[in-house]
Amino acid sequence: MLVSATEMLQKAVEGHYAVGQFNINNLEWTKAILATAQECNSPVILGVSEGAGKYMGGYDVVMGIVNGLIKDQNITVPVSVHLDHGSYDHCYKCMEAGFPSVMFDGSKYSIEENIEKTKELVAAAHAKGISIEAEVGSIGGEEDGVVGMGECADPAECKQIADLGVDFLAAGIGNIHGKYPENWKGLQFDVLASVQEKTGTLPLVLHGGTGIPDDMIKKAISLGVAKINVNTECQLVFAEATRKYIEAGKDLEGKGFDPRKLLAPGVEAIKAKVKEKMELFGSVGKA
Ligand code: 13P
Give the pLDDT confidence of 107-162 residue by residue, as tens digits.
Answer: 889 989 999 999 999 999 999 999 999 999 877 777 777 777 678 899 999 999 99
Separation CA 238–CA 217 (nearest Å): 23
CA of 135 to the centre of ligand 1 (A): 14
Dihedral, 26, 44, 1, 125 alpha carbons, nearest 10? -90
163 labelled catalytic: no
Closest CA to 46 of 259, 125, 286, 59: 59
CA of 258 to the centre of ligand 1 (A): 31
pLDDT at residue 197, rounded to an integer: 97
60, 72, 84, 144: the catalytic one is: 84
CA of 237 to the centre of ligand 1 (A): 14
Give the residue, out of 48, 177, 204, 281, with the most ligand 1 atoms within 8 A of its beta carbon, to mutate for a pocket test.
Answer: 177
Pocket of ligand 1, beta carbon within 6 A:
23, 47, 84-85, 143, 177-178, 207-210, 229-233
Report the share of the chain in percent with pLDDT over 70: 100
pLDDT digits (tens, 9 = 90+) for 184-208: 989 999 999 999 999 999 999 999 9
More confident residue, 137 or 98: 98
* pTM confidence score: 0.96
Helices 214-222 & 189-199, crossing angle to 10 degrees? 20
